[in-house]
Structure 1
Amino acid sequence: MNSNAAPFETEASAFSAWPYLTYLSVFLFIVLLSYQLTPSAMGYGTHEQLGLPPCGFLTITGYPCPSCGLTTSFVHFAHGNLAASLSAQPFGTCLFLVLVILAFFTVWAIIKKIPFSEVMNSEYMEWGQYGMLFLFLMSWGYKIVVMKIL
């Protein structure tokens, strides 16, 4: 423990920029990679440009998987096409926006020296996870309707 730390401060609550810098690096990688890809006209399958196989869930069941169109949505968003991003996978659009907001928050947290553990253990984080899960499931329903019913 740091000898200059307050008696109540633990290592878990000590500030470290590394988790934030790691997030920013991953975020930047995702944005740059998304910008380099070409979105699939089908609204899904863009991930195959990365050497990944076609969606096994879709191949076996004929129904889209919960993340069907996520990569395509990210690629559209990275290219500035918000409407196509929403059409490909609404959750992808929401997730991309959340990642952008978190990137700005990350810079702010580094400047303010907010311990990463405080952020991860906050009530906002818990509610945010529930909200994202809800959006994820609703977007899956959307993809099923668009790909199988319409």
Structure 2
Amino acid sequence: MTSRPQTPDGLSHPPRPGAQATVDRPFPLSIPARLVAAVAAGVPLVLLLIASTLQPSSEGLGTHRQLGLPPCSTRILLGVRCPACGMTTSWSHFTHGQWASSLAVNSGGFFLAVFALIFSGVAIGVAWRGRLPRPEWIRVLGWSAVGIAVLTLVDWAIRLASEAGA
């Protein structure tokens, strides 16, 4: 009894006539999977587009209020900024080409915006080619996301410490 080749998603699909699956060339993704990749690419791009329509707050945070969102609950309830404070302002600076200001406002936001562009590019490639990226790309994206989360928390701790000392 022979088993069917496994796709990277772990599911067994019948091969197309004449198709040869290998580790480097898995079977093509289904149309629904390609649509999911296209939507995954579009979400961060839409968020960057929205950020580009906003005027960065001169205070370094609060730009999200232009979207009708409430003030940061952490600032109201605890009197301190949250790790995401300044993230929208950072993205707005980023989309206006003000990268130094983006880094200064929230360094995690800057690197998250860079990550959003790279992630979208990879997802567009998946949707276009119908194939998952190489495993090393998936690892790089995963570790990059972890690194950005750590950077955001370190940036937050530094800002909390500087506010406490001021």
What band does the TM-score fall into relative to the shorter chain? 0.7 to 0.9
The number of residue pairs the alignment matches comes to 145
Cα distance between partner residues in 1 of 2:91 and 2:162:
18
In the alignment, is residue 25 of structure 1 matched against residue 42 of structure 2? Answer: yes
In the alignment, is residue 130 of structure 1 matched against residue 146 of structure 2? Answer: yes
In 2, are the aligned partners of 1:77 and 1:93 still within 8 Å (CA)? yes
In structure 2, the partner of 1:4 is 16
TM-score when normalising by structure 2: 0.73
Match of 2:81 among 64, 81, 89: 64
TM-score when normalising by structure 1: 0.80
Moved segments of 4+, more than 6 Å: 5-9
Relative contact order (alpha carbons < 8 A, sep ≥ 6): 1 or 2 greater? 1
In 1, are the aligned partners of 2:45 and 2:116 still within 8 Å (CA)? no
Matches within 5 A, 1:1-150: 1-2=13-14, 4=16, 15=29, 16-115=33-132, 122-150=138-166
Where does structure 2 lack aligned partners over 5 or more consecutive residues? 1-12
In 2, are the aligned partners of 1:63 and 1:148 still within 8 Å (CA)? no
Distance 1:45-1:148 versus aligned 2 partners, 3 A rule = farther
Where does structure 1 lack aligned partners over 5 or more consecutive residues? none
- Identity of matched residues, %: 28
Cα distance between partner residues in 2 of 1:84 and 1:47:
16
Cα distance between partner residues in 2 of 1:70 and 1:44:
7
Cα distance between partner residues in 2 of 1:65 and 1:129:
19
1:135 CA drift (Å): 1.2
Larger radius of gyration: 2
Higher helix share: 1
1:95 CA drift (Å): 0.3
